[in-house]
Amino acid sequence: MPESGIVVQARSIDMSYRDGNEWRVVLDSVDVDVPEGQVIGLQGPSGCGKTTLLNIIAGLARPRGGSVAMAGRDYEFAKPVAMAGMRRRHIGLISQNYGLIDDESVFRNIELPLKFDRPRLRRGERRAKVERAMRDAELAVDPSARVGRLSGGEKQRVAIARAVVNSPQLLVADEPTAALDAATGAKVIARLRDIAARGAGILVATHDPQVVEGCDVVYGFDGPRVLLRR
């Protein structure tokens, strides 16, 4: 049985990549818990395996060993269609390069997950959800503005709004402040904390000390292991 209040539990995760004739171990029996209402950090030098672990917990990559469970249900890594449905319904993703469509408006970028997951939602309801997500992300730009014209900080907030528009239980963010100055980065962390305060679990990979400071628990990488830091 899962512990109550845990959004996602990863157990004994193993991952290796083939390097010529050898297998290079990146994750070796790694355990991670993401509780409701908390921001959990993954910290470590470049190349240590943060993105690999995030992708596994976000259901985007299949580990070579171990299991991941959301609300006590194991991810069905062998079933790509079921996995895609689970990701759409329960997981919000903020990727390193934001993954936005520059030629589309702010509104259309943010509503995209709703179009896939809630195609029968009425226009008014969709608009209300997008506006709510924009408020949650503290995004005060014209919804009809083209994303390509926004600043880096604004783009990051569009990515946050899009990730939360479906009210996911788990939000996964890969280096969310990497391209931002310190003041803008601080605002992003504040937004993540607000989103967690409403019950979501957040997992964030970072080497930004400011982000680390804003986490409830930080897992630090030390070679192919994850150690609980605080």
Ligand X SMILES: Nc1ncnc2c1ncn2[C@@H]1O[C@H](COP(=O)(O)OP(=O)(O)OP(=O)(O)O)[C@@H](O)[C@H]1O
Regarding 26 and contact with ligand X (CB under 6 A), the answer is yes
Nearer residue to ligand X within complex by CB, 23 or 116: 23
String of b and e for 86-104 (b: at least 16 CB within 10 Å)? Answer: bbbebbbbbbeebebeeee
Nearer residue to ligand X within complex by CB, 147 or 218: 218
| Per-residue CA distances from 150 to 94, 102, 132, 174, 186 (Å) | 17, 9, 20, 20, 19
Contact stretch for ligand X (CB under 6 A) within 41-49, 149-157, 196-204, 212-220: 41-49
Nearer residue to ligand X within complex by CB, 107 or 219: 219
Please report which residue ranges of the chain form alpha helices under DSSP H.
50-57, 80-90, 106-117, 123-136, 152-164, 182-197, 209-213
Nearer residue to ligand X within complex by CB, 46 or 144: 46
State in angstroms the smallest separation of the CB of 95 from ligand X. 11
Regarding 52 and contact with ligand X (CB under 6 A), the answer is yes
Give the number of other Cβ atoms within 10 Å of residue 145's Cβ.
14
| Alpha-carbon gap, residue 41 to 182, rounded angstroms | 18
Please work out, in degrees rounded to the nearest 5, the angle formed at the alpha carbon of residue 43 by the alpha carbons of 42 and 47: 105
State in angstroms the smallest separation of the CB of 173 from ligand X. 12
State in angstroms the smallest separation of the CB of 33 from ligand X. 20
Q: Enter the tokens of residue 176.
A: 């969310």
Task: Please give the size of the binding site for ligand X, defined by CB under 6 A.
Answer: 10
Regarding 169 and contact with ligand X (CB under 6 A), the answer is no
Q: What count of residues does the chain have? A: 230
| Alpha-carbon gap, residue 156 to 190, rounded angstroms | 13
Regarding 95 and contact with ligand X (CB under 6 A), the answer is no
Regarding 49 and contact with ligand X (CB under 6 A), the answer is yes
Regarding 17 and contact with ligand X (CB under 6 A), the answer is yes
Work out which of 50, 126, 162, 191 binds ligand X, going by CB under 6 A.
50
Work out which of 48, 58, 91, 226 binds ligand X, going by CB under 6 A.
48
Nearer residue to ligand X within complex by CB, 52 or 156: 52
Nearer residue to ligand X within complex by CB, 31 or 104: 31
Q: Enter the tokens of residue 166.
A: 């479906």
Nearer residue to ligand X within complex by CB, 50 or 157: 50
Residues 59, 87: contact at Cβ < 8 Å? Answer: yes
Residues 44, 53: contact at Cβ < 8 Å? Answer: no
Residues found near ligand X in the complex (CB under 6 A)? 17, 26, 44, 46-52
